[in-house]
Amino acid sequence: MAVSSPAPSSPPVSAPTAQGPTQADLLDFVRHTAADAELIASLPLDPEGRTWVRLEGPGGSEAWLIGWPPGTGTGWHDHAESVGAFLTAAGELKENSLAVRLPADGWRALELNDGVDRERRLPAGRGRAFGRHHVHEVLNESTERHAISVHAYYPPLPQIRRYSRVGQVLRLEQVERPEDWQ
């Protein structure tokens, strides 16, 4: 389930459930955090590579503040069993995603059907939540401006699966674990 958010407001973050924060809780958190102008301005920006700072997320979630130089992106990936949310705090991001659930295990390459591609433009103040096994790539297509975003995941990321894509063929290339990015 994808949830888009309007311009940020400052509602209180709802209390997480006994099973951890929901997608809506995570979206509330990233919306509230992105509205903190002092925090957003504190992120050091690099002209060539993404920068990030780990944040305290709600209910044991993992959260990040990420800076995106012009022309950078994530490549195709998913967040395995975690649900998540992200919101653009400054600049604009583009998300390409697949409107199909992929099998979790047991494959190396899949041929995608026509009509499964989705594209979202996420200017400052816009974001979305997503469920488990959500495959997407996030890009800053600007040639001049950095973008900054806030991300939250629950449970904390057990792994990230990275994919390559040529036409309609999606290929699993690498599985990263937390020690690879922390």
pLDDT digits (tens, 9 = 90+) for 81-119: 999 999 999 999 999 999 988 887 788 999 999 999 999
End-to-end CA separation in angstroms for the chain: 28
Tokens of 80: 């395995």
Q: Could you identify the residue written with the tokens 């894509």?
A: 165
- Say what the pLDDT of residue 101 is: 83
Burial of 56 (0-12, 13-18, 19+ CB in 10 A): exposed
Please name the residue ranges forming H helices in the chain.
23-34, 37-42
Burial of 57 (0-12, 13-18, 19+ CB in 10 A): buried
Report the topology of domain 19-180.
Jelly Rolls (2.60.120)
- Say what the pLDDT of residue 15 is: 44
- Return d(Cα 134, Cα 100) in angstroms, integer: 8
- Say what the pLDDT of residue 105 is: 78
Query: 83 by DSSP, 3-state: which?
Result: strand
Q: pTM for the full model? A: 0.86
Q: Which residues pair with 73 in a beta bridge?
A: 139
Q: Which residues of the chain have pLDDT under 70?
A: 1-18, 181-182
Instruction: Select from 122, 89, 128 the least CA-distant residue to 8.
Output: 89
Query: 169 by DSSP, 3-state: which?
Result: strand
Q: Are 83 and 130 in contact (CB under 8 A)?
A: yes
